[in-house]
Amino acid sequence: MLDRAFFQRDPVRCAQELIGCELVWNSCAGVVVETEAYAAVGDEASHTFVRPSTRAFVERHEAGAAYVYFNYGMYWLFNVLVKGGAVDGFVLIRALQPTRGVALMRRRRFPGPAGLKPRPVETLCSGPGKLAIALGITGEQHGIDLCRNPKKAFHAGSGSRIAWVSDVRIGISKAAHLPWRFLAAENPHVSVRESAGRG
């Protein structure tokens, strides 16, 4: 399980090194294949820029705390607090390659009677809203310590370190030019492929 020291560095470096790690969430798990870094200071796209409540969250929680928030009236988005390095911030987990609990993920993502054609595994966690549904992450887990319980934690990736590429952040209207999105190279489980000419 990744310890607190892992998250006591700057968010960009954490976002890079989380690629290839495994996120374990109860009986489900997946390899992190897409992340984005946000800085707590000077980053217009970070909640800390406009929300006093988020700035208070940074103050009151330790590195490795889960920051879960509700967006677009429908989706929970899962971040981890990074604190204690050169700058504080968050890493948004944007996509996973499922490794355990795939059947349960499929039930959560596509409830109701089992369809005649099952959705491909690449669609289960290929986005921040999708992976929260697939893992069962909600606001109930907001603020929990991800360095305490191995059943809700990041774990070092098995085998060799996965190669990542960087790209601009997506889905935001401000400070989107920063190359703070990181993806596992040529991985079909990411939300959006890297734009041309990057890496």
Partner DNA sequence: ACACGGATACTA
Partner DNA sequence: AGTATCCGTGTC
**At closest approach, how far in Å is the CB of 158 from DNA?**
25
Q: Which of 16, 99, 123, 166 binds DNA (CB under 7 A)?
A: 123
- Residue 141 touches DNA, criterion: CB under 7 A: no
- Residue 194 touches DNA, criterion: CB under 7 A: no
- Residue 128 touches DNA, criterion: CB under 7 A: yes
Stretch that binds DNA, among 15-23, 120-128, 154-162, 180-188 (CB under 7 A): 120-128
Whole-Å CA distances, 19 to 52, 89, 113, 158, 186 = 30, 17, 34, 12, 13
Neighbours of 50 (CB within 10 A): 11
Amino acid letter, residue 17: E
Stretch that binds DNA, among 12-20, 69-77, 146-154, 160-168 (CB under 7 A): 69-77
Q: Which of 5, 41, 42, 71 binds DNA (CB under 7 A)?
A: 71
- Residue 107 touches DNA, criterion: CB under 7 A: no
Residue 98 CA to residue 121 CA, distance in Å, equals: 7
Q: Are 143 and 81 in contact (CB under 8 A)?
A: no
Stretch that binds DNA, among 1-9, 128-136, 147-155, 156-164 (CB under 7 A): 128-136
Nearer to DNA, 17 or 36 (CB): 36
Q: Are 179 and 198 in contact (CB under 8 A)?
A: yes
Token digits for 22?
């495994």
Q: Determine the distance from the C-alpha atom of residue 108 to the mean position of all C-alpha atoms in its chain, rounded to a whole number.
A: 18
- Residue 172 touches DNA, criterion: CB under 7 A: yes
Residue 181 CA to residue 12 CA, distance in Å, equals: 9
Site residues for DNA per CB under 7 A: 36, 38, 45-47, 50-54, 70-75, 77, 79, 90, 92, 94, 109, 123, 126-131, 170-174, 191
